[in-house]
Structure 1
Amino acid sequence: MGERTLANLNALMEKHEAIGDVRGKGLFCGAELVADSKTKEPLDEKRVQAVVADCLGQGVIIGATNRSLNDGLNNPLCLSPAPIATAGDIDRITDGSTWR
């Protein structure tokens, strides 16, 4: 399921310029949100938290890194689905149809 999560996130990165990078290992994955896809300028913290809140409103719990990681930036979204997550669960989490 980790490979599926990363593949789905990479597909989202190709569709959405706001995703500057995707990385992870196993079911612990991250998608770095950027304001500019060319310069990789990090997305403003308030907008990252708005994405986290929107996901929660849709029943998907994700987080964002804190400033102690990633050179003091907190623009990566953190996903860590349960080890019992099904392919359908992963697809719902990484659907992206409501991403703005």
Structure 2
Amino acid sequence: MEHTKAYQEFKKNGNTKFVRYSEGAEMYHMSVSKFMQMAKDAKAIYKLGQLVLVNLKIFDEYIETSYISFFEFTQNLKRSHRLFIHKYRYFSF
């Protein structure tokens, strides 16, 4: 995954463990609302009063396990289509 300069600076300084919503959204090239929703789904949120931080290690693991790449999706689709054709020789979609 390609990251922005902000992420690379965080990584250089060793401060990659926690970020705020706006910083994380910039790092992952997504809207703040989408980043907030995915962080909540990943259970990577830490609330300290009104400050909310996202644990990037948990967030990265969530992305890697929950979202498959488009290539993997198409390969799985082709494989399942071949199995369906093989099982039911006359049917195709």
TM-score range, shorter chain: 0.3 to 0.5
TM-score for the superposition, normalised by structure 1: 0.31
Select the structure that is richer in helix: 2
Higher normalized contact order (CA 8 Å, seq sep 6+, divided by chain length): 1
Select the structure that is richer in strand: 1
**Greater CA radius of gyration, 1 or 2?**
2
